Amino acid sequence: MDDLEIIAEKIVSQAMPGEEVEAFVAWDEETSIRIYNGAIENLSKSQSSGVGIRIVSNHRQGFAWAGTLDPSAVEFAMAEARDNASFATEDEYLGLGTPDDVAPKDLDLWRDDLSSHSTDEKVSLALELESAVKNSDKRIKSVESANYGDVSSTATVLTNTGMKASYRQTFSFISAYAIAVENDETQTGGGYSVGRTLSELDLDKAASDATRRATRLLGASKPPSARMTVLFDPQVTTTLLAIISGTLSGEAVIKGRSLFAGRLNEQVASATVSLVDDPTNPFAFGASVFDAEGYASRSNSLIADGVLQGFLYDTYSARRAGVSTTASAVRGGFSSTPGVGARALYLTPGTKSQPELIESIENGVLVQNISGVHSGVNPISGDFSVGAEGLLIKSGKLGSPVKEFTIASSLQRMLQEVVAVGNDVEWIPSVAAGVSLVVEGISLSGI
């Protein structure tokens, strides 16, 4: 990490009078293993690093990046960032952040022992997962892939306006994708487990999820069209929350792209809904001590008992909105500038488990997967229409599997029609935690 700081300091020290300079320097080490049919299909080990340089001068911003720490490439990025700034439109709100008084929390997101595990151990884990899935059920014909992956990443953000943050984290996962066949019909299902090192992975869960999700869809048919209650599996809720988070971005509000603009303190959801973005929760996949601009992460309440509490902001959008940053700057890596985003959303859980929620539904459908989210959900208008598959619920019991149907509503209406949140919060590698969610009045179209 010291090396990154040295490189960042060298970049920032080249600031010319009147220039604000930010250096973001990142280093990753990755292992990726794919198993197929009892043998290693791919094994990849690599390190990568790079730098992103942001320069603000006379309220104009320029950016450039280099996918290497090679001095000539870093020099290129510095010169280009400076040149790019001269072409941007002047904007009085532009400028790098300055330190605030929120102290960083001590989050334990790094596991020293990850690097001590041999590649062979990691290969064995993936092999074991593949055979666990294969032997779990006669209908599992093959496992398309069983994977192990880990990443150790460190990053430094440094500016000449006083921001300084270094952070690191490890992440490890296993996943399997099962193919089930019965009576000439094929269905697929995936399962995974994530943690910060090998010992935190739950192989049984990954294997049984893949098997269950693939086999329980066998024999699925197209359901008749109807309006009904939908129970979303935790993973699907994660996807929904990730979409909703975009509408709660202060940047979207400012630019007239949020359907929640101007609705602060209004009832935007049913009273069952309380939504928080808390990247200081170490269980969250998106947890981090600092945001991408170097501010200490903090917990932000977005919706409380259905009432809209606030939006997420980075430095720029906060200045424009006349508020303080919520430390919600995120970046896709060194090759992009920070933008506003949620990192660790979760719905305040209810009291019932998924089986108990099923018991409470007279006529509905448990949705296990949704597809076509990018095309079928318009986060600006709120229109929502996606493909789905899952199991019918009749008189409080799971019934026959269904597929090739769509569910449609609008984001606004779905939030208002949430009738229950499960107690099964699950931290998923995404910006949001999963939890079972019951929503009424969704149009289901099949036959």
List binders of another protein among 337-366 (CB under 8 A). Answer: 337
Using the rule CB under 8 A, is 298 a contact of another protein? no
Using the rule CB under 8 A, is 409 a contact of another protein? yes
From the list 14-22, 165-173, 393-401, 437-445, the region that binds another protein by CB under 8 A is 437-445
Cβ neighbours for 13, distance < 8 A, ≥ 6 positions apart? none
Using the rule CB under 8 A, is 127 a contact of another protein? no
Among the listed residues 3, 58, 83, 116, the single contact to another protein using CB under 8 A: 83
48 vs 267, beta carbon nearer another protein: 48
Question: Are the CB atoms for 405 and 388 separated by under 8 Å?
Answer: yes
Q: In the complex, what is the shortest distance from the CB of residue 286 to another protein, in angstroms, rounded to a whole number?
A: 18
80 vs 128, beta carbon nearer another protein: 80
Report d(CA 253, CA 316) in Å as an integer: 13
164 vs 263, beta carbon nearer another protein: 263
Q: In the complex, what is the shortest distance from the CB of residue 309 to another protein, in angstroms, rounded to a whole number?
A: 23
Q: Which two tokens stand for residue 155?
A: 């990053």
- Please choose, from the candidates 26, 23, 19, the residue with its C-alpha nearest in 3D space to the C-alpha of residue 9: 23
The footprint of another protein on residues 154-173 (CB under 8 A) is none
Q: In the complex, what is the shortest distance from the CB of residue 333 to another protein, in angstroms, rounded to a whole number?
A: 11
End-to-end CA distance of the chain: 58
**Checking phi first, is residue 242 left (phi over 0); if not, alpha (psi -120 to 50) or beta?**
alpha
Contact map string, positions 130 to 159, toward another protein, x by CB under 8 A: -----------xx-xx--------------
Q: In the complex, what is the shortest distance from the CB of residue 91 to another protein, in angstroms, rounded to a whole number?
A: 6
The footprint of another protein on residues 373-392 (CB under 8 A) is 373-376, 378, 380-387, 389
209 vs 277, beta carbon nearer another protein: 209
What are the strands, taking DSSP E only, across 260-359? 275-277, 300-304, 307-308, 329-330, 339-340, 345-347
Which residues make beta-bridge pairs with 145?
177
Using the rule CB under 8 A, is 37 a contact of another protein? yes
Using the rule CB under 8 A, is 216 a contact of another protein? no
Question: Are the CB atoms for 422 and 352 separated by under 8 Å?
Answer: yes
Task: Count residues binding another protein (CB under 8 A).
Answer: 84
Question: Are the CB atoms for 363 and 357 separated by under 8 Å?
Answer: no
187 vs 229, beta carbon nearer another protein: 187
Give 90's DSSP letter: P
Question: Are the CB atoms for 424 and 349 separated by under 8 Å?
Answer: yes
Q: In the complex, what is the shortest distance from the CB of residue 103 to another protein, in angstroms, rounded to a whole number?
A: 31
Residue with tokens 């990753």: 28
